[in-house]
Amino acid sequence: MSKSYAFGFLKPKVERTQYDNKLYSQVLLLSCSDNTSSPDILYKYFPLGVNGNEDYTARFLSTLNEGTFWFSTKRYLNDPCEMSYVKDSAATFPPSNPNVFTFKPLSKEVAENFNKCRICCFSESWREGPMWDRYSNGQSGVCVGFDISKFKEYLFPVIYQNDINKRLLDGEEGLVTAFSLKEESWSYEKEWRMIYPWAPFLIPENISKEPLGLLQSLDIDIKEIVFGNNIDSSQIERIIQEHNINDDVKLFQTLIDKKIERTEITLPKIKQFSKKKIDLKELHNLPKIKLFGKRQ
């Protein structure tokens, strides 16, 4: 039996960012009621610090405080070969009537306008070295675990294959597959995607001068924050000062011991050290810190 897809309209966490950028009054995502297989926690890696005019820490804090997530165009996805199957999938739809717009979440119009679709990426894992290097500036950033248990119908797993049977690209399910294909060499990312399907009501204030993507505010709870091994102590201090971390959020820092491990740290101890220059080595040696992996 074929799956049923729909537009999902959700209430955003905020409708306007601290920078006074207008957001959608409703979040728009592609949904499939059959999607139930994603883990309850998915991760996203973030760089920190300032690079030229870009304040990456401010962007990260916007995600923590306002739930703002960046949905990127295909041009700025990391695999240059992905999305190349979307046009093949479009060819499987019957010819459209130019005088009639079919307002469906997956249709020939969507496929033909796939450059205007947007994608937000998550990972199953917090411990992938290449992900830390590519997206968190070599462990000088953070990785956040989000509770996506209420968002499962909006998450689609990436399929890692080098040889594709074109019958997989037929119709609506084929178009979702086409949006989720990557070469096997990227399988370490263990990626899941939220898809903003093209629709004729983009909010101009939400989009930069170049068609890079758009912001949507997702009301997703934070479960874990993993600080990279090379993070600057000033970044931890800024995060603690500018975000009210809930007691239910677990905090970790990565440790490198043949493979990437992590050690749990407590908010009271971090706040104690944020009053002075944080010595991360001293922080690790504090009592009552639960260690993971082989470390005791």
Would you state the torsion angle of the CA atoms of residues 148, 116, 79, 59, taken in this order, to the nearest 10 degrees? -50
d(CA 191, CA 158): 6
Question: Which pTM was predicted?
Answer: 0.82
208-218 average pLDDT score: 72
Residue type at 44? K
What does the pLDDT read at residue 80?
A: 66
Are residues 271 and 243 in contact, defined by beta-carbon separation less than 8 angstroms?
Answer: no
The β-bridge partners of 246 are none
Residue 178: pLDDT over 60 = yes
Please give the Cα distance from 168 to 259 (Å, whole number).
37
- Cα separation of 139 and 78, whole Å? 19
Nearest to 216 by CA among 16, 78, 57, 44: 16
3 state DSSP class of 136? coil
| pLDDT for the residue numbered 189 | 95
Q: Which of 70-74, 157-161, 176-180 has the highest mean pLDDT?
A: 157-161
Higher pLDDT, 39 or 86: 39
Contacts within 8 Å (CB) and 24+ apart, 9-12:
10/218, 10/219, 11/219, 12/67, 12/216, 12/217, 12/218, 12/219
**Coil, strand or helix at 209:** coil
Top-confidence residue, 36 or 144: 144
Higher pLDDT, 78 or 208: 78
> Which tokens is 15 given?
């409708």
Helix, strand or coil for residue 257?
A: strand
Lowest mean pLDDT among 5-14, 164-173, 218-227: 164-173
Residue 255, helix vs strand vs coil = strand
For residue 205, pLDDT over 60 is answered with: no
